[in-house]
Structure 1
Amino acid sequence: MQFLSDNAASVHPSLWAAMQAADAPDSPYDGDAVSQQLDEAFGALFGRECAVLWVATGTAANCLALASMVPPHGGVLCHREAHIEMDEGGAPGFYLHGAKLMLADGESAKLTPDAIRTVIDPIRNDVHQVQPHAISITQASEYGCAYRPDEIAAISALAKERGLGLHMDGARFANACAFLGGDAADTAGPVDALSFGFVKNGGMGAEAIVFFDTALADVARYRRKRAGHLQSKGRYLAAQLLAMLKDELWLSNARSANAAAGEIASVAGTRLMHPVEANEIFLHCSATEREALRNQGFEFYDWGTDAARLVTAWNTPQEHAIALSKAIAAL
């Protein structure tokens, strides 16, 4: 019974069908008929003009979005446990040609305006210090907690006041949106660019960079090519994205994953390290207790010395979630 990662989940059947339907000769790269539909489709979802680029990975989506905002001598303000700091193998430094990540603190891996000011206010405005050029937040956060619209609005106001770009790492954007009520525009808020995750939510190998500041997309197109992410048969990536948007499949999948996480969280009580607002559960759990769970057939990651991370997916069987909840309750 697998609770390691939603990255390990299978591909939704609708996406296989969509890729098969796209399996006909068409213009290469992003000139095909399917890719040409992305701006309008995502614009309808968010209720505002946008420019959308497909890429194969979340790391590329984050880094290409940030590279369009930040020069090599600049900095990106992020949480010290942000994915771009902890889990992307130095890719931001590579894609941004040495730009610096500036690390801030915040509960449940979420930033606040005060936490951002603590980092950027002491920076002198001179050539001897790296100047911030963008803020990156994660929705849902690395500990599975969702930013509310007013929280994003406050960070956006600070970004505009300081002349900074605002990027959202939305690897689990769908799960945050499902928790917040299903409104994509509210869940994204007034950001300049969103890395909209699909692979964790039933996709195969396609993520969307949604630029609400469409001028940034013109920069990112060149950077995508230079980074080796302009696939010649891009219609297969575009087909996955459109299939996920159709009939709100992306939101339905996220609701299923969140429901499974809620089943497990409902019995965890004081073991919970963070509120469960998406599809990740972090538990206080000793080594002996983790071994007992694994001996019952549950797979998950250790999280430090005395904790475990459990992740549900769009296709987590209900009986597996129920079995895990009972096993946790019995510890």
Structure 2
Amino acid sequence: MYFASDNAGPAHPKVMEALMKANEGYATGYGGDAIMDEVRAQIRDVFEAPEAAVYLVINGTSANSILLGTMTQPWETVFCSDWAHIHKDEGHAPEFYTGSKLTLVPSTAGKMSVDDLQHAILGEGNRGVHGSQRGPISITQVTEFGTIYTLDEIKALTATAQEFGLKTHLDGARFANAMVALDCSAAEMTWKAGIDTVSFGGTKNGAVAVEACVIFDPDLAWEFELRRKRGGHLLSKHRFLSAQMNAYLTDDLWLDLARAANAQCVQLAEGLRGHDGADILFEPQANMIFFNMTRQEHKRMLDAGAVYYVENGDPYAGDPEERLMGRLVTDWSITAACVTQFLDLLRG
């Protein structure tokens, strides 16, 4: 009954097999390995972008931060949701790599609106040399509340960015979960919707540690390479990144894993809706659920072996009737039996 995070789930056996195979013999380092040539072609095919620049790093923080650093000057500001992952969970790494600041845009269920984004943009870049200049927009997809921007919502946000001559980055740590939920193509969710760069996640969806940085403007490619090296994220034994991504993409494994995670989330949400003591806060759209329940109910579940995060309080100290927010996340390896066990325990 482990629902704390999709980061905590196992890597898929095919990814592990690929790593073992890549460990045989010798290979050129720093991304010069033959597997990376195949990965580059795979990702270009997935995104229907034959000219895209493709690079691999070990985690989402480095992917987001180096991409944003490539898109941002130190005197500019990055616009993002007040619940964006780059704001809430990356320890100021985006600010460190860009040398700039983040301007937080109010959100509803983790999503920015066009009006709020426009208001935030208009609030910057108008104080001359004394204030921040306008920089790129970053969209978290899936959001930190498990919600998803529709294609039309992404297009509207990128159109707003373009009105001001700004570029847009997509933080896609859960890219596959969003894409299968929207039943769209990778191209439709990115460059066809006005996205300029993408952090294409693998770690949360069955890889060990690999994310792809996809850049649709080739003019940004060399600067990204320099920043990746300067930032300490160009791996010498790069083949082990390449092998993971190669296995992840082969035969659409990445889509199968995301579908499995999303499907178990649906079952979990249906069971929660049938329990009077639990209130789902945001309509689950991918593989995350946020819900309210009394402190004593959280404690009972956790003591019985359920593993998940309680977000806004200590489940073991305080008023037993106070309602606290919990977060449940399903990954590819969660089984129907595990979901049933959790729901049976919830019902007492």
TM-score by length of 2: 0.91
Aligned to 1:91: 93
Task: Tell me which amino acid in the other structure corresponds to 2:248.
Answer: M
Structure 1 residue runs of 4 or more that deviate by more than 3 Å after TM superposition:
none
8 Å CA contact 2:83, 2:107 repeated in 1: no
How many angstroms does 1:122 deviate by? 2.6
Aligned to 1:10: 10
CA–CA distance in 1 between the matches of 2:106 and 2:144? 13
Question: Matches of residues 298-317 of structure 1 in structure 2 within 5 Å?
Answer: 298-305=306-313, 306-317=324-335
CA–CA distance in 2 between the matches of 1:177 and 1:183? 7
How many angstroms does 1:295 deviate by? 2.5
Aligned length: 329
How many angstroms does 1:125 deviate by? 5.4
Question: Matches of residues 272-291 of structure 1 in structure 2 within 5 Å?
Answer: 272-291=280-299
How many angstroms does 1:265 deviate by? 0.5
CA–CA distance in 2 between the matches of 1:268 and 1:276? 11
Question: Matches of residues 1-331 of structure 1 in structure 2 within 5 Å?
Answer: 1-23=1-23, 24-49=25-50, 50-97=52-99, 99-123=100-124, 124=126, 126-188=128-190, 189-269=193-273, 271-305=279-313, 306-328=324-346, 330=347
Of all paired residues, the percent bearing the same amino acid is 38
How many angstroms does 1:37 deviate by? 2.4
Structure 1 portions without partners, runs of 5+: none
Structure 2 portions without partners, runs of 5+: 314-323
Alignment root-mean-square deviation, CA: 1.4
CA offsets, 1:14-34, max 9 Å, x none?
Answer: 111112222231211111111
CA–CA distance in 2 between the matches of 1:134 and 1:103? 12
How many angstroms does 1:217 deviate by? 2.0
CA offsets, 1:131-161, max 9 Å, x none?
Answer: 1210000111111111111111111111111
- Larger displacement relative to structure 2 (112-121 or 245-254): 112-121
Task: Tell me which amino acid in the other structure corresponds to 1:281.
Answer: I
CA–CA distance in 2 between the matches of 1:171 and 1:191? 15
SS at match of 1:8: coil
How many angstroms does 1:38 deviate by? 2.8
Task: Tell me which amino acid in the other structure corresponds to 2:256.
Answer: S
CA offsets, 1:86-105, max 9 Å, x none?
Answer: 111111111112x0100011
SS at match of 1:267: helix
CA offsets, 1:266-303, max 9 Å, x none?
Answer: 12237111111111110011211101111221011001
CA–CA distance in 1 between the matches of 2:218 and 2:298? 47
8 Å CA contact 2:6, 2:331 repeated in 1: yes
8 Å CA contact 2:53, 2:218 repeated in 1: yes
8 Å CA contact 2:137, 2:167 repeated in 1: yes
SS at match of 1:34: helix
TM-score by length of 1: 0.96
CA offsets, 1:247-279, max 9 Å, x none?
Answer: 111111011111111111012237111111111
How many angstroms does 1:36 deviate by? 2.0
8 Å CA contact 1:55, 1:206 repeated in 2: yes
8 Å CA contact 1:179, 1:277 repeated in 2: yes
CA–CA distance in 2 between the matches of 1:113 and 1:238? 37
